[in-house]
């Protein structure tokens, strides 16, 4: 069937458009990673030094203020979010926001696992809930950028400066690409595998002073697994935020993250990484505007993600999308672009900083080839 339609003349140089793990930074090769700490204890002098250096780079490139602590924790972004929820929630009422699958997962944790009867504010895929409904006398758990719907919060203005509760943000596909209002965030989490193109299994937990105060003044009613424990004797375990990790990390993954962070810093830091993501998202939007059969799942540009951009395909069901993505993968033109399994059938193209704009632009003819081949 596809032989009837000519293949495009050129392909993306790096067809890696997965929304996690994402594309490696341009120029990445395994031999560029430092290896002195491999085969060494993470508690050795060199191991602790490299972990501390990674944390310092995160602070530098992400422009995290000195008021906030940064820790490397197990379990990727999921582990970091659940660590925050299990250790801090239950002290006061809770509000959970959900407009895609990961936000819905935090609702499930609060309702079915912690059983804290939260207020749940939801919106369908492609939309954002009414943020003015949020009662900031409660702790609030939300995704800064909905990875599976391509919908982000527009800014931090909706977060009350005089809030009584904690603002707990899962920002795994927002950091290094969108502005974070650090004065409005008490807990922020992410993983290296998103916008840095890093490896999985490790999360980053960033705590503001109000979160530290909660940890040191509140003991939850439920038991905490060892990997969730952030305090000892009612005091924060400060070593966690100097690179003394709770469990054994992969130092290879740490070195991989360091490479990406050094790359981001060499570009010019946060502003340069945001600019690359914006340019990629703009290039993808031009492809959408030029095709009647292609659309954005998020119709409002003000809340549309510049990283995990979710697209609709006219008349497509799950089977069509699977075949569409499969055709492009077979041709090594685009990998892993089918939408998330819980989302409406569509495409999801990662536009974060590690992707080159020229590769986004090169997708256009391949989109046309796959669409018309399947429709023929």
CATH number of the domain that residue 343 is part of: 3.90.1150.10
Q: pLDDT tens digits, residue range 23-69?
A: 999 999 999 999 999 999 998 999 999 999 999 999 999 999 999 99
Q: Quick one: 197 and 77 in the same domain?
A: yes
CA dihedral for 40, 236, 201, 184, sign (positive or negative): negative
**Is residue 132 included in any domain, yes or no?**
yes
**Is residue 22 included in any domain, yes or no?**
no
Q: Quick one: 58 and 109 in the same domain?
A: yes
**Is residue 84 included in any domain, yes or no?**
yes
> How would residue 261 be classed by pLDDT, with cut points 50, 70 and 90?
very high
What letter would DSSP give residue 251? H
Q: What is the CB neighbour count within 10 angstroms for residue 284?
A: 26
Strand partners, 69: 207
Q: pLDDT tens digits, residue range 276-332?
A: 999 999 999 999 999 999 999 999 999 999 999 999 999 999 999 999 999 999 999
**Is residue 77 included in any domain, yes or no?**
yes
pLDDT for the residue 234? 94
**Is residue 19 included in any domain, yes or no?**
no
Rounded CA separation 27/266 (Å): 13
Residue 345 near residue 318, CB atoms below 8 Å:
yes
**Residue linked to tokens 């890696």:** 16
Whether 9 shows a pLDDT value over 50: the answer reads yes
Give the residue numbers spanning the domain of 335: 268-375
CATH of the domain at 138: 3.40.640.10
Q: Quick one: 39 and 163 in the same domain?
A: yes
- Average confidence (pLDDT) over 371-376: 94
Whether 91 shows a pLDDT value over 80: the answer reads yes
pLDDT for the residue 2? 46
Q: Quick one: 88 and 231 in the same domain?
A: yes
pLDDT for the residue 195? 87
- b/e per residue 62-91 (b: at least 16 CB within 10 A): bebeeebbbbbbbbbbbbbbbbbbbbbbbe
Residue 332 near residue 11, CB atoms below 8 Å:
yes
Rounded CA separation 358/376 (Å): 28
Whether 71 shows a pLDDT value over 70: the answer reads yes
Overall number of domains in the chain: 2
Q: pLDDT tens digits, residue range 155-201?
A: 999 999 999 999 999 999 999 999 999 999 999 999 999 989 999 99
Lowest mean pLDDT among 60-64, 136-140, 193-197, 360-364: 193-197
- Average confidence (pLDDT) over 246-268: 97
% of the chain residues with pLDDT over 70: 99
Three-class SS state of 350: strand
Q: Quick one: 363 and 302 in the same domain?
A: yes
**Is residue 329 included in any domain, yes or no?**
yes
Q: Quick one: 184 and 298 in the same domain?
A: no
- What pTM, to 2 d.p., does this model score? 0.96
**Is residue 57 included in any domain, yes or no?**
yes
> How would residue 1 be classed by pLDDT, with cut points 50, 70 and 90?
very low
Domain boundary at 248, 265, 282, which?
Answer: 265
Q: Quick one: 205 and 177 in the same domain?
A: yes
Q: Quick one: 52 and 80 in the same domain?
A: yes
Q: Quick one: 335 and 261 in the same domain?
A: no
Burial class (CB in 10 A: 0-12, 13-18, 19+), 124: exposed
Look over the chain and give the mean of its residue pLDDT values, rounded to a whole number. 96
Whether 115 shows a pLDDT value over 50: the answer reads yes
Strand partners, 108: none
One DSSP character per residue, 180-217 reads --GGG-SEEEEETTTTT---SSEEEEEE-HHHHHHHHH
Q: Quick one: 115 and 163 in the same domain?
A: yes
Pairing of strands 151-152, 119-122: unpaired
Residue 148 near residue 129, CB atoms below 8 Å:
no
Domain boundary at 265, 289, 319, which?
Answer: 265
- b/e per residue 321-344 (b: at least 16 CB within 10 A): beebbebbeebebbebbbbbeebb
Q: Quick one: 146 and 292 in the same domain?
A: no
**Is residue 25 included in any domain, yes or no?**
no
CA dihedral for 209, 207, 272, 300, sign (positive or negative): negative
pLDDT for the residue 268? 98
Burial class (CB in 10 A: 0-12, 13-18, 19+), 271: exposed
Q: pLDDT tens digits, residue range 209-229?
A: 999 999 999 999 999 999 999
Q: Quick one: 59 and 114 in the same domain?
A: yes
Rounded CA separation 301/376 (Å): 33
> How would residue 4 be classed by pLDDT, with cut points 50, 70 and 90?
low
Domain boundary at 199, 230, 265, which?
Answer: 265
């Amino acid at each position: 069937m596809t032989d009837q339609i000519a293949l495009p003349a050129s392909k993306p140089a790096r067809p890696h458009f997965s929304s996690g793990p994402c594309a490696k930074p341009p120029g990445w090769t395994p031999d560029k990673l430092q290896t002195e700490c491999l085969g060494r204890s993470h508690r050795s002098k060199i191991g602790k030094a490299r972990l501390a250096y990674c944390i310092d780079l995160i602070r530098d490139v992400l422009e995290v203020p000195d008021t906030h602590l940064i820790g490397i924790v197990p379990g990727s972004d999921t582990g970091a979010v659940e660590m925050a929820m299990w250790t801090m929630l239950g002290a006061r009422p809770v509000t959970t926001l959900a407009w895609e699958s990961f936000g819905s997962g935090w609702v499930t944790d609060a309702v079915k696992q912690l059983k804290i009867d939260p207020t749940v504010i939801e919106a369908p895929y492609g939309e954002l809930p009414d943020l003015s409904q949020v009662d900031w006398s409660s702790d609030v758990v939300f995704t800064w950028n909905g990875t599976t719907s391509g919908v982000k919060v527009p800014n931090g203005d909706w977060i009350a400066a005089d809030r009584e509760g904690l603002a707990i943000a899962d920002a795994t596909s927002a950091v290094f690409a969108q502005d974070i209002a650090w004065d409005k965030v008490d807990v922020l989490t992410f993983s290296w595998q998103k916008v840095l193109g890093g490896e999985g299994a490790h999360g980053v937990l960033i705590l503001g002073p109000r979160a530290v105060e909660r940890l040191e003044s509140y003991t939850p009613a439920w038991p905490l697994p060892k990997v969730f424990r952030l305090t000892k004797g009612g005091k924060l375990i400060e070593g966690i935020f100097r690179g003394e990790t709770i469990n054994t990390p992969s130092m290879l993954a740490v070195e991989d993250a360091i490479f990406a962070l050094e790359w981001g810093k060499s570009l010019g830091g946060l502003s340069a990484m945001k600019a690359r993501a914006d340019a990629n998202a703009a290039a993808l939007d031009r492809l959408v505007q030029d095709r009647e059969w292609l659309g954005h799942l998020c119709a409002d540009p003000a809340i549309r993600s510049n990283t995990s951009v979710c697209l609709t395909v006219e008349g497509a069901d799950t089977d069509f999308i699977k075949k569409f993505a499969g055709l492009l993968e077979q041709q090594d033109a685009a990998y892993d672009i089918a939408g998330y399994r819980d989302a409406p059938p569509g495409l999801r193209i990662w536009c974060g900083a590690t992707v080159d704009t020229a590769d986004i632009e090169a997708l256009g003819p391949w989109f046309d080839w796959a669409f018309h081949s399947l429709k023929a």
